[in-house]
Amino acid sequence: MRNFLFILAPFLITFFPVFAEPVVEDEDFFVEKFVEGIPRPTSLHFIENDLLVLEKDGNVRLIRNGILQNEPILDVGVNTANERGLLGITSINSTVFLYFTESDLESGDPLGNRIYRYNWNGANLVNSVLIHDLPVNFTIPEHNGGTMVTGLDGTIYAVIGDTNHRGILQNYKEGKFDDTSVILYVDQSGLTIKPSLSENPQDFYHAIGIRNSFGLAIDPITGTLWDTENGPAYFDEINLVEPKFNSGYKIAMGPATSEEKNLLEEKHGYFYSDPEFSWETPVGPTGITFVDSDLFEKYEDFILVGDIHTGTIWKFKLNAERSGLIFEDPQLEDLILNSTEFSDEIIFAKGFFGITDLAFGPDGFLYVASFGDGIIYRILPSNFLIEESDFPQWFKQNVSWWKNNQINDKTFFQSMKYLIEHHVIILSTIPDLNKQTEPLVELFKQNATSWEINRISDQDFKKSIEISIENGLIELDRDKIRCNSFPQERIDLSNCNLMGKDFSNLVILQANLRNSDLSNSNFFSADLRYTDFRHSILIDANLENANLLGSNLADTDLTGAQLSNANLQFTILNNANLEKANLAGVNLRGSILQNADLTGANLQGADLTGAYLVDAQIRNANFDEAITYGCSGCP
C-alpha cells in the first residue's frame, strides 16, 4: 500500500523533538550513559578496544578504557553548514579513512567532500593522504552522505548523496557521471582523486540513484552491503545493495509504481529493486548495524537501525536467506510502515536525542551516538554484571559505617582522599577549591546514603563528590593524582616516584618524565618517542625493545638498565650514567653521548653510525661487532 503523506521534511541533523530518557523495550536489556561531553557526534568506530568518535565540527575523539581523553587526536578543518561536517570513518588494521566536507582555512568555505587516509599509531592519526575529492554544492549544504564501511574482503564503500544535483546518476536522461548519488568503491591507493575524471567512472560505482544516506553496513555472514536512505517528504528506506544497484531516485522513493519501474528499467548497466523496508513518514534513518554479538543472541538474525528524527532504534528480522526482512504484524506485510500505522514489533529502544550511529563494540555491547545531547550510550543485557571500577564493592561498606557513625567524618573523607588520589575512584573532572560556600557534610552524607542503597546512580554520586571537593570536604594532593594517572601521550609525570611501575607495551609519546624516580620500572616494548627523561633515575629499569626515538635522556642514571634491542636513534644522552647497562643490538644512530659514562656497558652489535661519544667514559665497555661508521669518540 502506498498512501502519500506530504509533510515538510526537516533537514537531517538539525531538528529534534523533545526526547525522554532512553529506554529499551526488551526487559532483557538496559541502556546506560557511557561517555558524555562529545558535541554533535556523527560516527562511531572501534579500532581494537579503542573507540573513535567523530564530532561534526571536525574533531576526532578517543575513548580508551571507558575514559574520554582530554584532547582530540585529530582536528580537521570542516564546513559544518547543515549536513556538512566530519561525517564518516572506517579502517583496515591501523589505516584509517575519514570522510569530511573540507573547508578553506581562511574563508571557511567548502572545498569538497573529501576522503583522507591516515595512519593510527595508537595515540594520533598521522600522515594524511588525500584519496578522493568528491563534489559539494557550494550554495545548498545538503545531501553530502559521508558514511563509510569496510567489506569482508577489504573493499571500502563510501556513500555520497545527490548534493542537489540533477543528472544521469539521479536517473535523468542527460548529464555526466559526476560522482554524485553513488555508493563508491574507495581507491585506497589514492591514485584516482576524482573518479569522474577517470577513463571509466562506472568502475568506481557500486550503486547509483541514492538521494542521501547516513548508514552503510556489511552482513557479517554473507558479506552483502545494506544501506539506509533518506527520502524527501515521504518514504525513507532500507536497501540490500547488490553490485550495479539503482536505488531509483529521483524517479522513485519507497516502492516504485509500475510506471516508475518502466522508467527505471536498466540504466547504464544498473538495475532497480524495491526497498527491503520503507517508512512512509520520514524518520531520518541513520546508523545501521547487523547484530553480531553473543550477548544479543536472541537477535542474531536481526538488523538494527537508528533514526535522527524520533531517537528510535528499530529492529528488523532477516529471512533465512538474509536477503530480505520478515514480519509477524500483518500491517507490515507490504514492507511499509504507513503513516497511519504503528507496530511495536519493530521498536527495540527509544528516547534518544537523535541517533547518528550504532556500533557493536569488542565487548559485545551496543554503542549509540546521541547527537542532540552529546552522549554515547551503551546497551547491554540486564543480567550482565559489570564490575564498577570507579567504586569497588567494599566501598559501600565504608559508606554504611559512616552513615551509622561507626567511623567519623574525618576518617571517611581521608579514605575518599586516598581512593581519588590513587585513581580507585575516577572522576571526570577535579574541580578547583572554592570555599565561598560552607561545606555541606550532611547533604553529602545523604547523597552517599542514597547511592549506597541504589537510589541514585554512580554518575550522580560522582557529581556530589566533585561538589564536596570544590567545597573543601575532601582536600586532595593534586600531585599525587597526577603521578598516579594512567600513562598516555604528552602526560606530565615529572617529579614523581614511579619506582617499580609497569609501563610495558604502553604508548607514552612526548611525555614529561623529568626528575622522576623510575628505578626498576618496566618499559618493555613501550613507545616512548620524544619523551623527556632529563635528570631521572632509571637504575635497573627494563627498556628492552622500547622505542626511545628522539628522546632526551641527558643527566639520567641508567646504571644496570636493560636496553637491549631498544631504539635510541637521535636520542640525547649527554652526561648519562650507563655504567654496566646492556645496550646490545641497540640503535644509537645519530645519538649524542658526550660525557656519558659507559664503563663496563655492553654495546655488542649496537649501531653507532654518526653517534657522538666525545669525552664519554668507555673503559671496559664491549664494542664487539658494533657499527661505528662516522662515530665520533668510538674506539
42: nearest Cα among 144, 179, 186: 144
What is the DSSP pairing of strand 245-246 with strand 205-208?
A: parallel
Q: What's the CA gap between 293 and 288, in Å, rounded?
A: 15
Confidence of residue 2 (pLDDT cuts 50, 70, 90): very low
Backbone angles phi, psi at 522, to 5 degrees: -110, 110
Confidence of residue 432 (pLDDT cuts 50, 70, 90): low
Q: How many residues does the chain have?
A: 635
- Using the Cα atoms of residue 207, residue 212, residue 216 and residue 219 in order, give the sign of their dihedral: negative
Average pLDDT for residues 144-161, to the nearest whole number?
97
Backbone angles phi, psi at 441, to 5 degrees: -60, -45
pLDDT in tens, 439-453: 567 777 777 777 777
pLDDT in tens, 565-588: 889 888 999 999 999 989 899 999
Within 10 Å of residue 126's Cβ, how many Cβ atoms?
Answer: 12
pLDDT in tens, 258-296: 999 999 988 889 999 999 999 999 999 999 999 999 999
Using the predicted structure, report yes or no on whether residue 561 has a pLDDT greater than 50.
yes
Q: What's the CA gap between 44 and 55, in Å, rounded?
A: 10
Grid cell of 515 as nine digits: 626528575
- Using the Cα atoms of residue 239, residue 242, residue 248 and residue 252 in order, give the sign of their dihedral: negative
**Which residue's C-alpha cell is 663496563?**
600
Domain 487-635 bears CATH identifier 2.160.20.80: yes
Radius of gyration of the chain (CA): 29
Average pLDDT for residues 319-327, to the nearest whole number?
97
Strand locations in 464-575, DSSP E? none
Confidence of residue 504 (pLDDT cuts 50, 70, 90): confident
Q: What's the CA gap between 84 and 76, in Å, rounded?
A: 13
392: exposed, middle or buried (Cβ count in 10 Å: 0-12, 13-18, 19+): middle
Alpha helices in 168-220 (DSSP H): none
Alpha helices in 434-501 (DSSP H): 441-452, 458-470, 478-483
The C-alpha angle 428, 434, 436, rounded to 5 degrees, equals: 145
DSSP state of 222: T
Confidence of residue 487 (pLDDT cuts 50, 70, 90): low
350 cis-preceded (ω within 30 degrees of 0)? no
Residues above pLDDT 70, as percent of the chain:
89
Question: What's the pLDDT at 208?
Answer: 97
Identical fold, 23-381 and 487-635:
no
247: nearest Cα among 218, 270, 215, 216: 270
Query: What's the number of CA atoms in the CB half-sphere (13 Å) around residue 395?
Result: 19
3-state secondary structure of 156: strand
Using the predicted structure, report yes or no on whether residue 467 has a pLDDT greater than 80.
no
Query: Quick one: which H or E segment has residue 262?
Result: helix 258-263
Q: How far is CA 78 from CA 101, 148, 183, in A?
A: 5, 18, 22
Within 10 Å of residue 455's Cβ, how many Cβ atoms?
Answer: 10
Grid cell of 160 as nine digits: 555520497
Using the predicted structure, report yes or no on whether residue 633 has a pLDDT greater than 60.
yes
Confidence of residue 138 (pLDDT cuts 50, 70, 90): very high
**Ramachandran region, residue 175 (left: φ > 0; alpha: ψ -120 to 50; beta: rest):** left
Question: What's the pLDDT at 178?
Answer: 96
Pick the CATH number of 23-381 from 2.120.10.30, 3.40.190.10, 3.40.47.10, 3.30.460.10: 2.120.10.30
Q: b/e for 399-427, b at 16 or more Cβ within 10 A?
A: beebbeeebeeeebbebbbebbbeebbee
Average pLDDT for residues 109-134, to the nearest whole number?
96
pTM of the predicted protein model? 0.62
Question: What's the pLDDT at 332?
Answer: 96
Q: Which of residues 157 and 499 earns the better pLDDT score? A: 157
- Residue 174 amino acid letter: E
Q: What's the CA gap between 358 and 163, in Å, rounded?
A: 24
627: nearest Cα among 601, 612, 606, 611: 606
Give 532's contacts (C-beta < 8 A, 6+ positions apart).
494, 511, 512, 513, 514, 551, 552
Question: What's the pLDDT at 66?
Answer: 79
403 cis-preceded (ω within 30 degrees of 0)? no
Using the predicted structure, report yes or no on whether residue 252 has a pLDDT greater than 90.
yes
Question: What's the pLDDT at 392?
Answer: 67
Question: What's the pLDDT at 17?
Answer: 46
- Residue 209 amino acid letter: G
Average pLDDT for residues 60-69, to the nearest whole number?
87
pLDDT in tens, 346-387: 999 999 999 999 999 998 999 999 999 999 999 999 876 544
**Ramachandran region, residue 340 (left: φ > 0; alpha: ψ -120 to 50; beta: rest):** alpha
Within 10 Å of residue 191's Cβ, how many Cβ atoms?
Answer: 8
Grid cell of 172 as nine digits: 535523468
Q: What's the CA gap between 451 and 237, in Å, rounded?
A: 45
Q: What's the CA gap between 166 and 179, in Å, rounded?
A: 12
Q: How far is CA 190 from CA 95, 119, 130, 149, 415, in A?
A: 13, 14, 7, 17, 57
Q: What's the CA gap between 356 and 374, in Å, rounded?
A: 11
Grid cell of 449 as nine digits: 546514603
Question: What's the pLDDT at 12?
Answer: 39
The C-alpha angle 307, 311, 312, rounded to 5 degrees, equals: 75
Within 10 Å of residue 18's Cβ, how many Cβ atoms?
Answer: 6
3-state secondary structure of 28: coil
Question: What's the pLDDT at 9?
Answer: 33
pLDDT in tens, 190-219: 999 999 999 999 999 999 999 999 999 999
Q: Where are the domains of the chain?
A: 23-381, 395-480, 487-635
Evaluate whether 513 touches 493 at the Cβ level (below 8 Å).
yes
Average pLDDT, the chain: 88
Within 10 Å of residue 525's Cβ, how many Cβ atoms?
Answer: 17
Q: What's the CA gap between 316 and 299, in Å, rounded?
A: 9
Using the predicted structure, report yes or no on whether residue 437 has a pLDDT greater than 60.
no
Using the predicted structure, report yes or no on whether residue 589 has a pLDDT greater than 50.
yes
Question: What's the pLDDT at 479?
Answer: 67
Question: What's the pLDDT at 3?
Answer: 34
